[in-house]
Structure 1
């Protein structure tokens, strides 16, 4: 009888630990653990409209996007080249490949929309 109880208990522990493991948040796999910074008088809250710098690679009026190559952005996005939506479609008339710009993105959509830009002279 004891020989049957031990495997049954081991199986129960295994199943229970698997269920707990499945409920864990795994969204940070492969990412470095970063401790959040709380704003204090010594470290003011980061400006939500901080701007990064980039270069216009392509303007796609049909899709309403501008492809930018940029360095690391204030929102934590690493350097890359990607297509961004723009807040105002008329901005696409002002942008041309090769221009250097400073731009801000909307954190609500993961930073995929340019909400403000200015040409760099």
Structure 2
């Protein structure tokens, strides 16, 4: 038995709609498999950006000490104003693939009294 159902195609919320509306065969509502595929694709896109991300620019990379100097905007979760500051990267592999001048989005937290970058990704 092939069951279909209708889902709302109107987008609401803080994230732009990046997927086309789902359509089933012959104009019918999408199957459950199509809906699950759409949800999985959306989750993959959302996972690409660190939660609570702050925009910044890489100013210095210190692989020896696992530190990253970033010129950034306000980090709201830490109540840190816009500035240039060095952060410990945890894990150190976050530094891999970064170069000075890269535009990034990153998440930071305070761990054991030290500000730490916990997620980072390059932006365009």
Q: TM-score with structure 2 length normalisation?
A: 0.54
Q: In the comparison of the two structures, how many residue pairs are matched?
A: 73
**8 A contact 1:104–1:117 mirrored in 2:** yes
Q: Which one has the largest radius of gyration?
A: 1
Note the C-alpha offset of 1:90: 1.7
Match of 2:21 in 1: none
Look up the SS of the partner of 2:76 in the other structure. coil
Q: TM-score with structure 1 length normalisation?
A: 0.55
Q: Deviations over 1:15-36 (max 9, x none)?
A: xxxxxxxxxxxxxxxxxxxxxx
1:30-69 equivalences in 2 (<5 Å): 49-69=51-71
Look up the SS of the partner of 1:97 in the other structure. coil
1:105 to 104, 108, 112: 108
Look up the SS of the partner of 1:91 in the other structure. helix
Match of 1:95 in 2: 98
Note the C-alpha offset of 1:50: 0.8
Look up the SS of the partner of 1:90 in the other structure. helix
**Structure 1 stretches lacking a partner, 5+ long:** 1-48
CA RMSD of aligned residues (A): 1.6
Q: Residues 80 and 110 of structure 1: is their aligned pair in 2 closer, same or farther, counting only changes over 3 Å?
A: farther
Q: 87-96 or 75-84, which moves further after superposition?
A: 87-96
What stretches of structure 1 move > 2 A for 4+ residues in a row?
A: 107-111
**Structure 2 stretches lacking a partner, 5+ long:** 1-50
